[in-house]
């Protein structure tokens, strides 16, 4: 099996495995105790904290270990908002943040706070001016990921941090995807990350709160981890997480060059090998190992299953995967095609031969899925100058398939009115128009569902 889903979880690094096994013998005792075994555990924990702080670029007493990256985000957001409650109850996030950030924002909003969600360009990047425009006198905290987890686009963290610093607002950076590749630059105030993203064991996150940032930990008081991460520390896992972070950092420069070349092969060749494909994400400012593309007229879940049968583990943000009827919030915010979405995220050490085999297999897999989809013939109703396509009750990607099937018969200047109650159509029909050079004329209410208007230009 070629594992191409490192953005979800990277394979355990060999150094992490070795460190974990070694720490199981010496790191099992309570590090708060003064007897010999407790002192040994404390030494391991302190050494891990020092090494992690060096990798992040912060002081050791600014960094705590948490039970996950998600817990680090939740703790960081809640603590910073509570610490600055007197300033106000306003939070800024980008529209493409990880779900852990968005869930924190939703909870804050439900409790009476206000949230501004900064939009992104079609590449998935925010503009620093978007944060400038969102800042208010009562802004307590801003949040921005260092790089996007679905499309790999790197965010302008340093520029946004400067905007926030000038306004006296702390910036929390979710560095889960990028920390294994290098420290996050800029004047950020808080940072969260997750060990299983860089080849450490799952169940270890880290949270950094810079000195001078007002922070009030929420929940019952606890004497461990500066009161910010309650519970007994999993010292063997922490040691393994930090050992793997140091190891991948030592390999990062060489691996980044190699993985960028492999992902560039995919970005360049997939559109030539497979018709009707949109490669998404910023082509330049991006993480080394992630490339994402979407295929028209393809059921995303079926595509992933077929690739799995061929020996490839990939991920998807399509609406017709993982039991959801709505496309990825990242793809929606970017305004790109969500049908047949495939995220390839290569772990360090990926063989070039595996990438070549993926490129050899993909065209046949996509063609097979398209052939076997069995899209029903559309029901059309003639109106003066308008062709109505009834796709009500049909899910991604059927509405777009039916639009494409009738479009050749529409005269130049004519309009197609697609009726659909599938949320993905709101994203995929405009994306189809952009790919085809046709005019998307908007949407309007219909007796059932929504009517999407497409005008033929050529």
Residue 104's φ and ψ, nearest 5 degrees, are: -60, -40
Considering the candidates 58, 320, 396, 433, report the single residue annotated as catalytic: 320
Give the list of residues 6+ apart from residue 432 with CB closer than 8 angstroms, or none. Answer: 296, 337, 400, 403, 404, 438, 454
Neighbours of 373 (CB within 10 A): 15
Neighbouring residues of 398: CB distance < 8 A, sequence distance ≥ 6: 375, 376, 391, 422
Q: Is 250 left (phi over 0), alpha (psi -120 to 50) or beta?
A: alpha
Residue 396 is among the residues annotated as catalytic for this protein: no
The sign of the CA dihedral 78, 79, 85, 91 is: negative
Cα separation, 358 vs 340, whole angstroms: 16
Asked if residue 177 lies in contact with residue 315, where contact means CB atoms within 8 angstroms, the answer is: no
What is the C-alpha to C-alpha distance for residues 58 and 68, in angstroms, rounded to an integer? 19
For 226, residues 6+ apart whose C-beta sits below 8 A from its C-beta are 61, 64
Active-site positions read 320
């Amino acid at each position: 099996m070629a594992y191409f889903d490192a953005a979800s979880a990277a394979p355990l690094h060999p150094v992490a495995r070795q460190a974990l096994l070694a720490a199981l013998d010496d790191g099992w005792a309570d590090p708060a105790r003064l007897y010999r075994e407790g002192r040994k555990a404390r030494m391991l924990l302190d050494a891990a904290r020092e090494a992690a702080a060096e990798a992040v670029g912060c002081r050791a007493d600014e960094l705590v270990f948490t039970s996950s990256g998600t817990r680090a985000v939740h703790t960081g957001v809640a603590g910073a908002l509570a610490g600055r409650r007197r300033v106000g109850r306003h939070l800024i996030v980008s529209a493409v943040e990880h779900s852990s950030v968005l869930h924190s924002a939703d909870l804050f909003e439900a409790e009476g706070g206000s949230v501004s969600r900064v939009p992104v360009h079609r590449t998935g990047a925010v503009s620093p001016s978007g944060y400038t425009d969102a800042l208010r006198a009562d802004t307590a905290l801003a949040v921005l990921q260092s790089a996007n987890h679905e499309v790999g686009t790197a965010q302008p963290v340093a520029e946004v941090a400067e905007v926030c610093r000038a306004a006296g607002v702390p910036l929390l950076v979710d560095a889960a995807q990028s920390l294994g590749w290098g420290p996050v630059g800029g004047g950020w105030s808080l940072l969260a990350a997750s060990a299983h993203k860089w080849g450490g064991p799952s169940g270890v996150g880290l949270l950094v709160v810079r000195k001078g940032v007002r922070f009030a930990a929420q929940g019952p008081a606890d004497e461990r981890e500066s009161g910010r991460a309650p519970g007994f520390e999993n010292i063997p896992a922490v040691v393994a997480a930090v050992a793997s972070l140091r190891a991948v950092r030592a390999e990062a420069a060489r691996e980044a060059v190699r993985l960028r070349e492999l992902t560039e092969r995919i970005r360049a060749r997939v559109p030539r090998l497979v018709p009707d494909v949109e490669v998404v994400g910023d082509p330049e400012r991006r993480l080394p190992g992630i490339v994402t593309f979407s295929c028209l007229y393809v059921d995303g879940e079926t595509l992933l299953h077929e690739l799995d049968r061929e020996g490839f583990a990939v991920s998807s943000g399509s609406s017709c995967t993982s039991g959801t009827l709505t496309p990825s919030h990242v793809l929606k915010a970017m305004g790109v095609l969500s049908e047949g979405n495939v995220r390839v995220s290569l772990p360090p050490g990926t063989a070039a031969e595996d990438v070549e085999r993926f490129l050899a297999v993909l065209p046949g897999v996509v063609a097979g899925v398209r052939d076997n989809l069995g899209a029903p013939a559309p029901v059309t109703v003639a109106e003066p100058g308008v062709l109505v396509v009834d796709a009500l009750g049909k899910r991604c990607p059927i509405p777009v398939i039916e639009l494409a099937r009738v479009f050749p018969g529409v005269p130049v200047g004519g309009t197609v009115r697609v009726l659909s109650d599938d949320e993905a159509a709101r994203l995929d029909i405009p994306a189809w128009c952009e790919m085809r050079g046709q005019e998307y004329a908007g949407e309007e209410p219909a007796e059932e569902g929504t009517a999407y208007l497409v005008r033929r230009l050529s």
